[in-house]
Amino acid sequence: MKNQQPKVAIQGIRASFHEEAAFRYFGTDIQTVECGSFKQTFEALKNKEADYVVMAIENNIAGSILPNYSLLMSYNFPIVGEVYLPIQLHFLTLPGVKFEDIKTVISHPIALRQCIDFMDEYPHIKVVESSDTAACAKRVHEEQLTDTAAIANSLAARIYELEVKERRIESNKKNFTRFLIFTSHENAKQVKANKASLCFQVSNEVGALAKVLNVLAEQEINMSKIQSMPVLGKRNEYNFYLDVEWNQPSQYDTAVRQILNYTKNFNILGEYERYMEDVVNGS
């Protein structure tokens, strides 16, 4: 892959938050592979139509994106990185359109919910849900809609030549999404990891999970996330997804060896460098 742009599969189209996350992680010198669904991004990686996948996994307001946990398990591509992206939403129109002429606003339902305080101030504007923030911006541009605004990011405003009529209209200014970076097994490189994503099951008995958590505490491993999901078709059985961070690799190695004694179907989904940028005050 030397001397050529990495092909990065995203759910959505150019200027979506997924492409913005890809730019933040890889830089802008990439080929974006647009996909209609998260599953299609993994299919693109599987079929060697992409070198990497960027996939949202959680938002600090909306919570975990549970179907994506199932996808990462079923495709079993390694996680090689993560990136946190501040979700900043703007009210976009065609250049020169007056605010008072706007009758409709279109965006993704989650984006609309995150701007509810702003929209409540304009009850006469009809709110219409659509599949993708960037696609809404693209539609306003392509159809030259003079009575319609889109709620999307500044990248969409730039690419689809729209005017930012109102900036930062999201209700919570500390809103961010975490994205995971995947690649094929042959493309994964050894890195100086200080974070890992793990998945396992424990027996359905008192204290089973506590034994695992005690191991982490004894080895001074920080658990930054825990998520459980039912095992398909099995009553009272759950997959536990853990993100763990460490300072000393030996502590992590010891913890993994000990955890194996208390778990079944133990899986290391990826070992990578944790994302260090201060996303709370992101630009």
> Which amino acid is located at 111 in the chain?
A
Count Cα atoms within 13 angstroms, Cβ side, for 102: 26
Token pair in block for residue 132: 């993708």
For the chain, residues classed under CATH 3.30.70.260 are 195-272
Binned at pLDDT 50, 70 and 90, residue 1 comes out as very low
Q: What angle do CA 141, 147, 151 make, to 5 degrees?
A: 60
Q: In the CATH scheme, what is the code of domain 195-272?
A: 3.30.70.260
Q: Tell me which of 3.90.79.10, 3.40.190.10, 3.40.630.30, 3.30.420.10 is the CATH number of domain 90-166.
A: 3.40.190.10
- Per-residue pLDDT, averaged over 221-239, amounts to 91
Task: Indicate the pLDDT class of residue 277, thresholds 50, 70 and 90.
Answer: low
Closest by Cα among 118, 115, 113, 161 to 137:
161
pLDDT for 265? 95
Question: What's the pLDDT score for residue 32?
Answer: 98
Distance CA 247, CA 106 (A): 45
Query: Does residue 249 surpass a pLDDT of 70?
Result: yes
Q: Say whether pLDDT at 278 is over 70.
A: no
Architecture category of domain 7-86+175-183 in CATH: 3-Layer(aba) Sandwich (3.40)
Average per-residue pLDDT for the chain = 94
With tokens 């990185």, the residue in question is 81
- Residues 3-13: what's their mean pLDDT? 92
Helices (H) and strands (E) in the chain, counts: 9, 15
Question: Per-residue pLDDT for 7 more than 90?
Answer: yes
Query: Could you tell me the sign of the dihedral formed by the alpha carbons of 70, 71, 73, 74, in that order?
Result: positive
C-alpha 279/C-alpha 153 separation (Å) is: 16
Give the phi and the psi of residue 203 in degrees, each rounded to 5. Answer: -70, 155
pLDDT digits (tens, 9 = 90+) for 189-202: 888 999 999 999 99
Compute CA distances 58 → 61, 64, 83, whole Å: 9, 4, 11
Q: What is the token pair recorded at 167?
A: 């900036």
Domain(s) labelled CATH 3.40.190.10 in the chain stretch across 7-86+175-183, 90-166
Would you place residue 231 in the very low, low, confident or very high pLDDT band (cuts 50, 70, 90)?
confident
pLDDT (tens digit, 9 = 90+) per residue, 69-105?
999 999 999 999 999 999 999 999 999 999 999 999 9
For residues 118-128, average pLDDT: 97
Q: So what's the pLDDT on residue 237?
A: 87
In this predicted structure, what is the pLDDT of residue 204? 84
